[in-house]
Amino acid sequence: MSELISGKDKKELLKEIIRKLHKGIDPEETKKKFKEVIQAVSPLEIAQVEEELIREGLPAKEIHKLCDLHIEVFREGIEREEYALPDWHPIGILKKEHKLIIDRINDLRELVMKVKEGKCYECIESDIPELEKIADDFRKSEVHYLREENVLFPYLEKHGITQPPAIMWKEHDQIRGLKKLYYHLLEKRDSLEFSKFQEQLESVSFGLAEMLMSHFYKENKILFATALKVIGKDEWIKIRKEFDDIGYCCFTPSEPEWEVVSSEKTGVSGGRIKLKTGSFTVEELDAIFRTLPVDITFVDREDRVAFFSDNPERIFVRTESVIGREVQKCHPPRSVHIVEKIVEKFKNGERDVAKFWIELNGRLIFIRYFAVRDREGRYLGTLEVTQDITDIKKIEGQRRLLDWD
């Protein structure tokens, strides 16, 4: 690459390319005009330039909207990036899972073509168990996305890479939406005419396949390549430990044993935490939070996650990497504006509580946000309390202390 497009000049040229794309210039014309810089661009440089453009006023929504176009224009430079990883590495595990998920979606496409040849439900009776098995594998693959959202994304954000994770999370939700359509179609097939079932199955399955292949390409070539450039070796060891804590897919390859080089102990030995109405040791307080029949997360006055309770059976995943993360980045892009609205009303004193309830895996989950204020009413932060109330709703009559045995 010539000196004319090195350093700052190269970065400004990349910005110019992206601005032109957003103004509607022909991508092929752009490739020809800026061939030299496009051939030499790295995934990290693309991510950094997008971050700078947003700081300079280009709407993040526009970056997200034209993400695929950016990748298409810069594909030649992106394709030359290759990286080899040890078996234990978190990125290596994610890439293997990508391949296995694609294998399953290809199995689904082949099965769909077979179903298309059927004339009635009885004709495809032997294929239904495999369609349902694929659906089950897709459900269990959810942990793949949870590891990215709750561990990898926060680490990237700490290194100033915020837009690629935001785009990928948005696509995760789109993938989840397509998978739900697939599950719903299988569950409700008896209420559909067979021809309608065939038509919708093909549409959903091939749409999901296209989405997954596009998404995994972007993660492999942009997100992961960028992560490997900015995240340090010691951090990868911590990330792997947090991956292990969350768990893996039913089809994740068995990984070789590995040893964590170091681990940090938390807490203070001795002494008590004194409050107005009593005191605890650090050990007691930690045990109390783990024993409470609710999940607790505290977001401080700066909108950063400061604490979460590590209950043995948490309803929603939390990992240590979330500590210090902006609460807005802990939620899917489609719901961030609601989170911001709640926090704003808590801060200005308009509201003190926000309540929601959802059905999750056949259980009723009650989610409450509370404004936390000091004794003078000053806002200190927001407390999220999540509770499974399925069994509580079934309670009738009374059971007194003397009834216990």
State which amino acid sits at residue 231: I
Residue 253 is predicted with a pLDDT of 64
Identify whether 275 is part of a domain: no
For 2, list phi and psi in degrees, rounded to 5.
-70, 160
CA-wise closest residue to 308 among 237, 362, 245: 245
Domain CATH number, residue 324 = 3.30.450.20
State which amino acid sits at residue 159: H
34 and 164 in one domain? no
352 and 207 in one domain? no
27 and 156 in one domain? no
108 and 15 in one domain? no
Of 227, 246, 265, the residue at which a domain comes to its end is: 246
Residue 339 is predicted with a pLDDT of 93
212 and 127 in one domain? yes
Q: How many degrees, rounded to 5, is the angle at CA 148 between CA 298 and CA 50?
A: 95
Lowest mean pLDDT among 17-21, 223-227, 311-315: 17-21
Q: How far apart are CA 241 and CA 89, in angstroms?
A: 10
Residue 4 is predicted with a pLDDT of 42
115 and 74 in one domain? no
Identify whether 228 is part of a domain: yes
Identify whether 55 is part of a domain: yes
- pTM exceeding the 0.85 threshold for the entire prediction: no
Per-residue b or e along 24-54, where b marks 16 or more CB atoms closer than 10 Å to that residue's CB: eeeeeebbeebeebbebbbbbbbbbbbbebb
Residue 273 is predicted with a pLDDT of 85
103 and 70 in one domain? no
| Residue 199, CA distances (Å) to 16, 83, 205, 324 in order | 44, 41, 10, 47
Q: How far apart are CA 232 and CA 145, in angstroms?
A: 22
Domain CATH number, residue 180 = 1.20.120.520
Contact residues for 92 (Cβ-Cβ < 8 A; gap 6+): 85, 86
DSSP track, 123-144: GGGGGHHHHHHHHHHHHHTHHH
> Which one has a higher pLDDT value, 77 or 51?
51
195 and 142 in one domain? yes
Instruction: State yes or no: pLDDT of 334 exceeds 90.
Output: no
Q: How far apart are CA 372 and CA 288, in angstroms?
A: 19
Identify whether 236 is part of a domain: yes
pLDDT in tens, 195-226: 999 999 999 999 999 999 999 999 999 899 99
Which residue range is the domain that position 226 belongs to? 90-246
pLDDT in tens, 75-90: 776 776 677 888 889 9
Of 31, 46, 79, the residue at which a domain comes to its end is: 79
Q: Say how many residues make up the chain.
A: 405
H or E element in which residue 214 lies: helix 194-218
Please name the residue ranges forming H helices in 219-356: 224-230, 233-246, 282-291, 336-347
- State how many domains the chain has: 3
Q: How far apart are CA 201 and CA 116, in angstroms?
A: 9
Instruction: State yes or no: pLDDT of 258 exceeds 60.
Output: no
Phi-psi sector, 57: left (phi>0), alpha (psi -120 to 50), beta: left
311 and 234 in one domain? no
324 and 194 in one domain? no
pLDDT in tens, 281-298: 888 998 999 999 999 999
Instruction: State yes or no: pLDDT of 355 exceeds 90.
Output: yes
Instruction: State yes or no: pLDDT of 42 exceeds 70.
Output: yes
Residue 37 is predicted with a pLDDT of 67
Of 246, 271, 306, the residue at which a domain comes to its end is: 246
299 and 358 in one domain? yes
Residue 87 is predicted with a pLDDT of 82
Identify whether 195 is part of a domain: yes
Tokens describing residue 324: 């210090």
If 0-12 CB within 10 Å is exposed, 13-18 middle and 19+ buried, where does residue 57 land?
exposed
Instruction: State yes or no: pLDDT of 392 exceeds 80.
Output: yes
Confidence of residue 387 (pLDDT cuts 50, 70, 90): very high
> Which one has a higher pLDDT value, 261 or 86?
86
Identify whether 401 is part of a domain: no
H or E element in which residue 279 lies: strand 278-280
Identify whether 262 is part of a domain: no
Tell me the average pLDDT across 261-271.
Answer: 45
Tell me the average pLDDT across 230-247.
Answer: 92
Identify whether 276 is part of a domain: no
Residue 254 is predicted with a pLDDT of 54
96 and 46 in one domain? no
Tell me the average pLDDT across 59-71.
Answer: 75
